[in-house]
């Protein structure tokens, strides 16, 4: 999901502008990786295409992507949706995925910045439901499934049956793979599978044949996400991302990809309690300023 939101933005010209533009959206210029760049990506079930201000709901996916030109590394920082935080003005609510429901992407942004001690430069918000259609357009992705997955919820019309091992998964199957919650690991297991899919999708999108699917993919992409990045910034960021695909890794200037999860442990109420000393060490390692 992270990949599909980021890989195709270099060709997507926003159809609508946010009703209330946020900082830098109308300013000229483009992304210049002379310093670090942090992009927050939120995934939710409700989204009005082209409008950052026009959607609500809890964020099922919370990710920060750090681009570090000094270390030539892209760091994917996943934040468990049940991470315990203190939300100003909402003293009775302590899970970070509620921030978007209460105060939109702006409150989510503040909560993430406070947690990681990282300045968020831009925001991408994608629709979980629309992503399924985009994944169907991309086609099957070879994914290593760590365990047999079986889950049935008739009321929610959710039925997951995926065998362990290397599997070719399509749109709805990929979404089930990503959203399945292992009883033992809960949301942490789900995040680990997001990282597995991310690397598998990178390999899939680097295949030469994918270029022929681009027109149909782009038609779906416009319905999948919205962002505060300008078109020029989207183009330049997308150009950078294309150069980082596996097919380019034989170059001396290729960047490395690393995945991280906010360190912590489960509380008695099921929330994820951050281990702040380890978190600060992790962020320091990523920044390496």
In Å, how far are 169, 175, 197 from 194, measured between CA atoms?
14, 10, 5
Per-residue model confidence as pLDDT tens digits over 211-268: 676 666 656 666 677 788 876 776 677 667 766 665 544 555 667 888 999 999 999 9
Give the mean pLDDT of 36-54. Answer: 73
Per-residue model confidence as pLDDT tens digits over 152-196: 878 767 788 999 999 999 888 888 888 787 666 677 888 888 888
Q: What is the pTM of this model?
A: 0.76
Which of 214, 209, 186, 204 has the alpha carbon at shortest distance from 272?
A: 186
129: tokens are: 């439901």
**Inter-residue contact 60 to 81 (CB < 8 Å):** yes
Q: How many residues does the chain have?
A: 289
- Per-residue model confidence (pLDDT) at position 171: 83
Please give the residue that has the higher pLDDT: either 51 or 191: 191
Is residue 279 predicted with pLDDT exceeding 90? yes
**Architecture of the domain delimited by 2-263:** 3-Layer(aba) Sandwich (3.40)
Indicate the average pLDDT of the chain. Answer: 77
Is residue 22 predicted with pLDDT exceeding 50? no
* Phi/psi at 32 (5° precision): -120, 115
Compute the radius of gyration of the chain from its Cα atoms.
18
How far apart, in whole angstroms, are the C-alpha atoms of residue 226 and residue 16?
A: 9
Count CA within 13 A, CB hemisphere, residue 165.
1
Q: Classify residue 17 as exposed, middle or buried by CB count within 10 Å of its CB (0-12, 13-18, 19+).
A: middle
Which of 283, 238, 289 has the alpha carbon at shortest distance from 120?
A: 283
**Inter-residue contact 60 to 80 (CB < 8 Å):** no
SS3 115: helix
């Amino acid at each position: 999901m992270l990949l599909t939101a980021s890989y195709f933005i270099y060709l997507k010209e926003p159809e609508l502008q946010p009703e209330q533009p946020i900082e830098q959206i109308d300013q000229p210029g483009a992304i210049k990786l002379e310093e670090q760049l942090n992009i927050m990506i939120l995934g939710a079930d409700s989204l009005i295409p082209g409008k950052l201000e026009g959607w609500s709901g809890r964020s099922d996916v919370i990710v920060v992507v750090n681009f570090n030109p000094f270390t030539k590394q892209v760091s994917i920082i996943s934040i468990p949706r049940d991470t315990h935080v203190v939300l100003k003005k909402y003293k009775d609510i302590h899970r970070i995925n509620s921030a978007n429901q209460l105060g939109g992407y702006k409150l989510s942004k503040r909560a993430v910045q406070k947690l990681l001690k990282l300045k968020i430069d831009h925001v991408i918000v994608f629709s979980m439901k629309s992503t399924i259609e985009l994944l169907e357009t991309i086609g099957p992705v070879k994914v290593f499934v760590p365990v047999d997955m079986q889950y049935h919820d008739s009321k929610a019309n959710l039925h997951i049956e995926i065998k362990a091992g290397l599997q070719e998964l399509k749109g709805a199957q990929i979404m089930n793979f990503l959203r399945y919650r292992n009883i033992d690991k809960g949301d942490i297991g789900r995040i680990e599978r997001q990282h597995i899919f991310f690397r598998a999708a990178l390999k899939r999108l680097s295949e030469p044949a994918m270029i022929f699917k681009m027109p149909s993919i782009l038609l779906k992409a416009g319905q999948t996400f919205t962002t505060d990045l300008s078109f020029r910034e989207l183009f330049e960021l997308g150009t950078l991302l294309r150069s980082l695909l596996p097919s380019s890794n034989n170059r001396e200037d290729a960047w490395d990809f690393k995945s991280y999860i906010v360190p912590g442990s489960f509380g008695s109420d099921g929330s994820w309690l951050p281990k702040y000393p380890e978190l600060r060490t992790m962020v320091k390692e990523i920044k390496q300023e």
